[in-house]
Structure 1
């Protein structure tokens, strides 16, 4: 090797070093969201774009998931960040039903990112009109998301309270269909099921789609005893659906059960990365969040950090303190 060649290689290596350091500094995260076609997937995709635009060192890959399974996936490090449901995330952190082990690697970026309503939609052309009558009738044909979802777990909790179950529905000649939101929407429109149970942020795309379809439906209010059972036993909350929220499906105001969205992260994600993500979310409060999904207009950093169900990630705490909404340690 000549001295000139050696100098050239050394110079080339020196020029490459900044690129190497930049590549090594870039953090790629997998964000587990909800089912394809659901609100969570849309929100995660929008947030990923926002975060990456403001933080070039962070890359995010969004994958489908479910509110029940996401906490375990994140705790195990399969995904590093993602959405969860406040009450279920708290269950996971403690190892309480429906989880069988303590999820001790979960940390949070707070809650309030997207309030989620629970909906029972019935056929409009006959059959019982109240929730108890619908869910206890013989030959019930109902569609609900897959078993990894909080929608389906809540459906099972309601059925158990009413003295029935998916197995009892099937053995009684009915149908208990699990599938994606697109699957169960199509099943309702085609008459394969007469009822749909889902939990989604407003406006729920599946309800908007059904409202525009050829088969009409009506949303059903939650009786007080079922709402109170879910609140006292499982830490759900309650909400009111104002008249005309879904005009074709619900002319009058109704009472529903509700939950809220928490962002979960594995404790191994570096604090500076978590702080950068949380800072971006805080700065996006208001119109920028609402532009991704209308339900995200509810996000309020002043209260988001107060969620007690999962320990706040140190990087998130630093961002909330820097924003002046959380007291100093």
Structure 2
């Protein structure tokens, strides 16, 4: 399904023009100043997510660390519609690196799922897991929604069109024996907009794949009491039959205001690239991402751990360069 040319360009001393956003992520430095420690390497672009999600700010921090710590590497980021769009951008050669949900990525590599049926993303490799994507169905307490069955007839924002979040919503609803098209009144927007709708009473619930705790949900809970709707054990089992990358996770009581304890499902947000990325660069990207995690400010950066870098990888291979670092803890 691949088309277009890979955007990995070697910097050979000429002037490289970056977008304003890329300059901002590089500290508004000149290309010569932002080539890392020593200069003379490659310009890479990473697709992240919407500005209201986790991918965008966290991806920006990781890109800054790569640019400052790896000799000759300059990484810029771009906002996107997250997982589904990112996988398509990677497949089309429009970007070099992406963040995406691991379960959806595994399906895409096999040409499965609504967005990739018969159109596999053929060249995709993992560089390591980033953090848990926790699927959170957040409902206002006044809506009376306590289970997924209670969503019937309700107004629900299911996530951006074509996003991994929206696809996960469909999978969960179908596992409950419900029709996601007929049983709820759907709205589709990024979570910043969905949160505003929930706060203003325009929707009864909003579904999102976010880190936990999610700042946007915490902000809502200060004025609008909310609950995170649980996913039952039997539905988790059904989900895992089709996608073994799903795992269970508890949402402790009080995570959002006075919310009660709930149980939901999670995937990994994973860093992906292609086999065209050379082994040394891939090794150093993986090394820097994990070894510099303690220097990052985003709350979920604490989940960047070597021990879980290869967890629930599914059918996608680890890049040989990244595997070298995970096996030896060195790129020498």
2:23 corresponds in structure 1 to none
Other structure's SS at 1:176 match: strand
Higher relative contact order (CA 8 A, sep 6+): 1
Alignment TM-score, normalising by the size of structure 1: 0.81
Q: CA deviation at 1:76?
A: 2.1
Structure (1/2) with the larger helix percentage: 1
- SS of match in other structure, 2:131: coil
Deviations 1:261-287 (A, max 9, x none): 2110022223222222112123224x2
Q: What residue in structure 2 maps to residue 243 of structure 1?
A: 253
* 2:46 maps to 1:40: no
Distance 1:257 1:210 in 2: 21
- What is the SS of the residue equivalent to 1:222? coil
1:309 deviates by 2.8
Q: 1:176-191 counterparts in 2 under 5 A?
A: 176-191=186-201
Q: Which residue is equivalent to 1:277? A: 285
Partner of 2:6: none
Correspondence for 2:303: 298
Q: CA RMSD in A?
A: 2.4
Computing the radius of gyration from Cα coordinates, the structure with the larger value is 1
Deviation by residue 1:67-120 (Cα, 9 ceiling, x = unmatched): 233223212211110111121111122222242222221011122x10121111
Q: Give yes or no for the alignment of 1:158 onto 2:172.
A: yes
What is the TM-score of this pair, normalised by structure 2? 0.81
1:263 aligns with 2:271: yes
Residues 277/254 of structure 1: CA separation in 2 closer, same or farther (3 Å cut): same
- Residues matched between the structures, number: 294
Matches within 5 A, 1:6-45: 19=13, 25-45=40-60
2:148 aligned with 1:131, yes or no? Answer: yes
The correspondence of residues 36-185 of structure 1 with structure 2, limited to 5 A, is 36-65=51-80, 66-98=82-114, 99-100=116-117, 101-111=119-129, 113-134=130-151, 137-138=152-153, 140-169=154-183, 175-185=185-195
Q: Please list the CA deviations of residues 296-325 of structure 1 after superposition, one character each: whole Å capped at 9, or x if unmatched.
A: 323321341463431111221232234169
Query: What runs of 5+ residues in structure 2 fail to find an aligned partner?
Result: 1-11, 16-31
SS in 2 for 1:47: helix
d(CA) in 2 for partners of 1:91 and 1:323?
Answer: 30
Work out whether 1:230 is the aligned partner of 2:239: yes
Tell me whether 95-104 or 116-125 shows the greater mean CA deviation. 95-104
